[in-house]
């Protein structure tokens, strides 16, 4: 399976807590004013009706050809700062493909692939608009908007391609003070680049603001209620919308759910455990094959072999056929990229086999897919937006390197293989130039229509217990469980899951709470 396709379809449903591999921090504007209020359902819902927002709710989209067969594109206007709706604006990229029929049109179905930082427009045009089940596409106009700060919508920019190449190779398992200082400096330089290139938009890319943008789009599309499928981080976006506008909730599917009640530290540590769980599933599959590059003895032995491989490439990076060598950071990213979809496991086995023979190119290709690095050395803004949104939504996991050192044992308990590196990766928001405006809290969305939460038991990026927690928090939450591997469940091969979700989207009837599929 092509590594770029791996990311752009199911795997860029993306890392949920998002901070895990990207390390972003730094910057000098730490005293920037707090301009975006934390989520407040009553305040935000009422302000959306304020006279100064009327021009946004009353705008007309001018649809045009996208250059992609069957799809139309338009530009949605929204206030940069909802506290100052008569001030600067942002322009958001929107795309749609109309309902194909037969059957009565049910309205618009908005989709978001997660991230944060994944292009919803790219996801719609590359997969959802042509790959969602035909009965759903027949009845709904499929619609996507790139969130503010993402892809085509006022994208956050931070580093050049060569700078990102350097950044992604920084050692995330520092062995001494010099390496700790080097990692901290990399995080600071990353965030300083974001502040320099995107300082105006940086304080205004929170999930609350994006959810409010979605409500403007709902109204402009002519829908009384929002119908929505969000994957991974998209579940947090959908839950936030429900909190802000419970009376405007139509049919919401939250697949690969995040838990909004958790702190950044707990999210990162839980996600670390999720990748360990997924690796065990990969290893159990691998050792049954005689050519498994991690041996055929046991899952534990495969884990030990994996950890030894990371140590070896940390000490002596592998050649890749290009100027970048494969060190531990890129190798770890490559392995984690393949955890999102069990369909990528054969590719990972091949990449590890090649690495065992001294060729790091296979793992480098997987890492590049994760980072959305193009063959010409340019990067999409996925990782820039990922950091910008995450660092705004929650206070940082750590106040400095000393906190990380204290937390490493708990991360290693969650994952002996990935724990140390992912603990240090969570330092990224510590130096972020824009103070966090959100906070961890439970979301009940009292008064909302039934909301369908989908969880996968061995999901690497959004651990299953997050789905259980979100479904329990939502006053109208219903939990649908997929017993299996991979990140998210809808549209990934389970007839049981797809039938339950399709029935909900088409008829408004959710499955029985607690329904399980395999």
Contact 422, 415 (CB under 8 A): yes
Taking the C-alpha atoms of residue 226 and residue 238, their distance in angstroms, rounded to an integer, is 10
Q: Please name the residues in contact with 509: beta carbons below 8 A apart, sequence gap of 6 or more.
A: 503
Contact 15, 21 (CB under 8 A): yes
Catalytic site includes residue 232: yes
Catalytic site includes residue 441: no
Taking the C-alpha atoms of residue 233 and residue 239, their distance in angstroms, rounded to an integer, is 10
Q: Please name the residues in contact with 192: beta carbons below 8 A apart, sequence gap of 6 or more.
A: 26, 27, 28, 433
Q: Which of 429, 421, 404 is nearest to 332 (CA)?
A: 421
Catalytic one among 476, 487, 494, 498?
487
For residue 480, the cross-strand partners are 454, 515
Q: Which of 54, 140, 137, 60 is nearest to 94 (CA)?
A: 60
Two tokens, residue 456: 């996968």
Two tokens, residue 163: 């700078």
Neighbours of 89 (CB within 10 A): 15
Q: Please name the residues in contact with 2: beta carbons below 8 A apart, sequence gap of 6 or more.
A: none
**β-bridge pairing 249-255 and 451-458:** parallel
User: Is 106 exposed, middle or buried (CB count within 10 Å of its CB: 0-12, 13-18, 19+)?
Assistant: buried
Catalytic one among 141, 259, 459, 498?
459
Element (H, E) at 1: none
Catalytic one among 232, 329, 469, 494?
232
Contact 478, 449 (CB under 8 A): no
Taking the C-alpha atoms of residue 217 and residue 211, their distance in angstroms, rounded to an integer, is 10
Taking the C-alpha atoms of residue 459 and residue 190, their distance in angstroms, rounded to an integer, is 29
Catalytic site includes residue 459: yes
| Residues involved in catalysis | 232, 459, 487
């Amino acid at each position: 399976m092509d590594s770029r396709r791996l990311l752009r379809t199911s795997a860029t449903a993306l890392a949920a807590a998002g901070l895990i591999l990207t390390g972003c921090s730094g910057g000098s504007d730490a005293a920037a004013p707090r301009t975006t209020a934390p989520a407040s359902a009553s305040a935000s819902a009422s302000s959306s009706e304020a006279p100064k927002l009327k021009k946004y709710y009353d705008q007309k989209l001018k649809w045009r050809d996208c250059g992609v067969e069957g799809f139309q594109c338009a530009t949605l206007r929204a206030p940069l700062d909802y506290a100052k709706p008569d001030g600067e604006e942002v322009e958001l990229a929107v795309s749609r493909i109309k309902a194909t029929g037969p059957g009565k049109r049910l309205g618009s179905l908005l989709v978001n692939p997660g991230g944060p930082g994944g292009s919803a427009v790219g996801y719609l045009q590359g997969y959802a608009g042509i790959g969602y089940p035909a009965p759903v596409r027949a009845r709904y106009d499929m619609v996507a908007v790139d969130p503010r700060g993402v892809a085509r919508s006022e994208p956050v920019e931070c580093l050049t391609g060569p700078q990102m190449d350097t950044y992604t190779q920084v050692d995330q398992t520092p062995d001494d003070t010099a390496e700790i200082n080097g990692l901290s400096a990399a995080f600071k330089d990353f965030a300083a680049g974001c502040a320099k290139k995107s300082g105006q938009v940086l304080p205004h890319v929170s999930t609350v603001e994006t959810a409010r943008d979605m409500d403007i789009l709902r109204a402009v599309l002519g829908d009384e209620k929002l119908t929505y499928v969000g994957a991974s981080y998209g579940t947090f976006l959908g839950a936030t919308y429900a909190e802000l506008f419970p009376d405007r909730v139509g049919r919401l599917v939250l697949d690969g759910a995040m838990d909004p009640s958790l702190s950044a530290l707990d999210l990162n540590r839980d996600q670390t455990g999720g990748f360990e769980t997924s690796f065990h599933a990969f290893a159990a599959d691998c050792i049954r094959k005689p050519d498994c590059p991690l041996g055929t003895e046991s899952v534990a032995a495969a884990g030990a072999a994996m950890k030894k491989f990371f140590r070896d490439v940390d000490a002596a990076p592998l050649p890749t056929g290009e100027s970048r060598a494969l060190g531990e950071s890129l190798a770890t990213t490559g392995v984690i990229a393949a955890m999102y979809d069990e369909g990528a496991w054969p590719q990972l086995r091949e990449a590890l086999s090649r690495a065992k023979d001294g060729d790091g190119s296979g793992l480098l290709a997987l890492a590049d897919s994760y980072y959305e690095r193009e063959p010409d050395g340019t990067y999409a803004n996925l990782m820039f937006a990922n950091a910008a949104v995450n660092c705004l939504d929650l206070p940082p996991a750590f106040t400095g390197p000393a906190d990380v050192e204290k937390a490493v044992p708990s991360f290693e308990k969650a994952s002996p293989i990935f724990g140390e590196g992912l603990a240090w990766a969570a330092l990224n928001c510590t130096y972020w130039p824009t103070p966090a405006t959100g906070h961890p809290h439970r979301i009940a969305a009292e008064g909302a229509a039934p909301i369908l939460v989908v969880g996968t038991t061995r999901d690497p990026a959004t651990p299953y217990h997050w789905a259980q927690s979100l479904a329990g928090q939502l006053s109208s939450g219903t939990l649908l469980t997929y017993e299996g591997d991979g990140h998210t469940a809808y549209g990934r091969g389970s007839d049981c899951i797809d039938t339950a979700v399709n029935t909900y989207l088409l008829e408004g009837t959710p499955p029985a709470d607690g329904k399980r599929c395999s």
